[in-house]
Amino acid sequence: MLFSNISILDENFDYQEGKWLGVLDGKIAYIGDEDPRVAADSPDFGEVIDGKDRLAMPALYNAHAHAPMTLLRGYAENVPLQQWLNDLVWPFEAKMTAEDNYWATLLSCAEMARYGVVSFSDMYYHTRDRARATVECGLKANLCEGLLAFEPKPYSEYPIAQLNLDLIDELHGTDEGRILIDYCIHAEYTSNPITCAGVAEAAKAAGLPIHVHVSETKSEHEECKERHDGMTPIQYFESLGVLDVPVIAAHCVWVEDDDIRIMREHNVSVAHNPASNMKLGSGFAPISKMLREGVNVCLGTDGMASNNNHDMFQDMYLMALLGKGFRLDPTAVSPKQALYAATRAGALAQGREDCGLLKEGFKADIAILDISSASWCPRTDMIGNIVYAGHGSDVVMTLCDGRVVYRDGVCPGVDIEAAKAELASRVKRIVASL
């Protein structure tokens, strides 16, 4: 594709108008002021699209998701986290089949693509079926098989140890690198030191990241200290070697100053989930402090039982505002920091170095927004408009590796009506069996 006269956010997140933007072979091939076709050696860009009243920005990276939990949207409401998990979520999940996971992931992918998301880090089960749905929709994903390890025994004795090796062999790097496999530890309170140390060794041997929940609630954080001689979850995981590989640490609501230092030193990426943390009453993560200390803060939606939608524009909005209100500081988190968290920071957390920016040679992960409506006028501060006035519904096209995964109401790889019908019948079956 070739976009003419389009506004862009360049690689420095600066707003520029009247640009030409060319996509070729899955990458951003041209950004400039002149029509690239005037050159004698210009490639054939194909379709030319008028960019008037359109903004091209980096597509979004969802750094913490549980895609199949779309099945639980609206199911477990208005209860604290532990009751939410023990009494509602885990019994429901125990009834979910591989096909349930496939259809729920397919609909989640379609919803994410509609809102400008091209990649997500997903912790759940039935990884092969989640990968199949992701590929069909055309998105990218870092997938990990969820690990609950209550029995203190070597990781190698858990069936998931062999499963992870099989998944790496079958799926890692497939679909032209769009599907990647990560390791998983659900959380400190759902695991044990022996197994966690084994996961750390396996991840290090494979050279792969670990996805883990950390300090989501105050009780989780304080009870960990009681169990492990005063160590916080971050200190506990550091002692077991978990932080010796790239880590996506979801939530980090109750981390302490020393935890933040450890996360910075180990290059831990924090997946901030503001909507989920508020909905479950978990608290407010010290994001502004993490940003000041140089921690890679990215953004996630969490699952649809604790957020209810995949519109990451909503999460950007919350990220930018919550720090201000919580810290009583209007400068706590800037719109640019929230936008960076939703794009480049998420790509880096997933190990996708050539993604997350509008830059020549980078993967063409692009969200095209309609900026013609009243809420976008005036355009005094475009990044402010994106974060404070923008919505996922403003996205009119999403490109993942240069391929259209959403355009004007259509996700080419997904029969939305069929997926909705499948989910409705499957939820009815599961609820009836509880």
Q: What spatial distance separates the first Cα and last Cα of the chain, rounded to whole Å?
A: 50
Do 177 and 226 have their domain in common? yes
Do 376 and 270 have their domain in common? no
In a domain, 243, yes or no: yes
Residue 20 structural domain = 2-58+357-407
pLDDT-derived band of residue 105, with 50, 70 and 90 as boundaries?
A: very high
Greater model confidence, 180 or 83: 180
Q: Which residue has the tokens 């008028």?
A: 50
Do 300 and 335 have their domain in common? yes
Do 363 and 345 have their domain in common? no
Do 378 and 320 have their domain in common? no
Whether 74 and 279 have beta carbons less than 8 Å apart is answered as no
* pLDDT above 90 for 423: yes
Q: By percentage, how much of the chain surpasses pLDDT 90?
A: 95
Mean pLDDT, range 382-402, rounded to an integer: 97
- How far, in whole angstroms, is CA 55 from its chain's centroid? 22
Q: Residue 1: which residues within 8 A CB-CB, separation 6 or more? A: 22, 23, 45, 46, 47, 48, 49, 399, 402
Mean pLDDT, range 240-259, rounded to an integer: 98
β-strands 48-50, 54-58: how paired? unpaired
- Helix or strand holding residue 65 (H, E): strand 60-65
Whether 300 and 250 have beta carbons less than 8 Å apart is answered as yes
Number of domains in the chain: 2
Do 384 and 289 have their domain in common? no
Whether 92 and 74 have beta carbons less than 8 Å apart is answered as no
Q: What values do phi and psi take at 214, rounded to 5?
A: -135, 125
pLDDT, position 24: 97
Q: What values do phi and psi take at 318, rounded to 5?
A: -65, -40
Q: What values do phi and psi take at 138, rounded to 5?
A: 90, 10
Looking at every residue in the chain, the average pLDDT score rounds to 97
Do 161 and 304 have their domain in common? yes
Do 79 and 25 have their domain in common? no
pLDDT, position 92: 95
What are the C-alpha distances in Å from 397 to residues 25, 119, 145, 404?
Answer: 18, 15, 31, 7
Do 8 and 69 have their domain in common? no
- Helix or strand holding residue 98 (H, E): helix 98-114
In CATH, what number is assigned to the domain containing residue 390?
2.30.40.10
pLDDT, position 204: 98
pLDDT, position 82: 82
pLDDT per residue as tens digits for the range 357-375: 999 999 999 999 999 999 9
Q: In sequence order, what E strands does 174-309 have?
A: 179-181, 183-185, 210-214, 247-251, 269-272, 296-299
pLDDT per residue as tens digits for the range 53-97: 999 999 999 999 999 999 999 998 888 878 888 899 999 999 999
Indicate the burial class of 206 (C-beta count within 10 angstroms; 0-12, 13-18, 19 or more): middle
pLDDT, position 79: 84
Omega of the bond leading into 378 within 30 degrees of 0 (cis)? yes
pLDDT per residue as tens digits for the range 185-221: 999 999 999 999 999 999 999 999 999 999 999 999 9
pLDDT, position 40: 83
Q: By percentage, how much of the chain surpasses pLDDT 70?
A: 100
pLDDT, position 85: 85
pLDDT per residue as tens digits for the range 387-396: 999 999 999 9
In a domain, 415, yes or no: no
Alpha-carbon distance of 164 to 170, in angstroms, equals 10
pLDDT per residue as tens digits for the range 107-161: 999 999 999 999 999 999 999 999 999 999 999 999 999 999 999 999 999 999 9
Whether 304 and 343 have beta carbons less than 8 Å apart is answered as no
pLDDT-derived band of residue 321, with 50, 70 and 90 as boundaries?
A: very high
In a domain, 312, yes or no: yes
In a domain, 117, yes or no: yes
In CATH, what number is assigned to the domain containing residue 242?
3.20.20.140
pTM beyond 0.85, yes or no: yes
